[in-house]
Amino acid sequence: MPRCRAGAWFSGELKVVVSMTQESAPCLLSVGLEVPDDGADGSYVFAGNAFRALELMKLLRFDLVVVAPGGVGMSIPHLVRQMRVIAPWQKWVLAANGNVSGGNEGGLTQQDELAARCNGALAVIDEVNDWSEVRALASGVRGRSRPPAALEA
C-alpha cells in the first residue's frame, strides 16, 4: 500500500497539503479537523467526514489518523471498527480545537474521551493549536513502524 504522495489539491471535502521537501515526514489523515496549510514538516490529508476518510485509508497508508469529535458523521466506536477492518495496525488520536467541523465548539466531552480510550486511541488531545504535538506523535509512530535497515536494502 503506497504512502501519502507529494502533491496538493482541493476537491469538495477533500483537502491535501503535502510537503515536498521531506520524504521521511509523517503522513497524517485528519477527519473533521482542519489541517494547517503553512507548509510545515509533514503531509496532511483532510477528510470532511468518516466515509471519505475510510475511502482514503483503502488507497493510502497513513502514520496517524487524527479524529475530531462530532465532525466525523458517525460514532467513534463505529469509525474505529471500520478502520480496524481496513488497517488493523492503524494508530489514531482524538483531538479537538475551535475549528472542528460539525460543532461541539472545540471541546471534548467525557463521553468522547471514554469512547476514544476504550477503542484504543493513542492519545486524547483537548486543543490542537499548532499541530506540533500531533506531528511529534506521528513521527514517533513512524519511527517505530519502520523496518530494520537490513530489510530496506
Q: What is the pLDDT of residue 40?
A: 57
- What CATH number does the domain located at 8-148 have? 3.40.50.2300
Name the phi and psi angles at 109, rounded to 5. -90, 165
The grid coordinates of residue 100 equal: 472542528
Q: What is the pLDDT of residues 77-115, one digit of tens each?
A: 899 999 999 999 899 999 887 544 444 455 788 888 898
Q: What is the pLDDT of residue 82?
A: 94
- Number of Cβ within a 10 Å radius of residue 111: 10
Are the C-beta atoms of residues 41 and 135 closer than 8 Å to each other? yes
Q: What is the pLDDT of residue 122?
A: 92
Are the C-beta atoms of residues 46 and 15 closer than 8 Å to each other? yes
The grid coordinates of residue 67 equal: 479524529
* Tens of pLDDT, residue by residue, the chain (153 residues): 445 544 444 445 555 554 433 455 678 898 988 877 665 556 888 888 899 999 999 988 898 999 988 777 888 889 999 999 999 989 999 988 754 444 445 578 888 889 899 999 999 988 887 787 888 888 888 766 554 444 444
User: H or E element: which one contains 15?
Assistant: strand 14-18
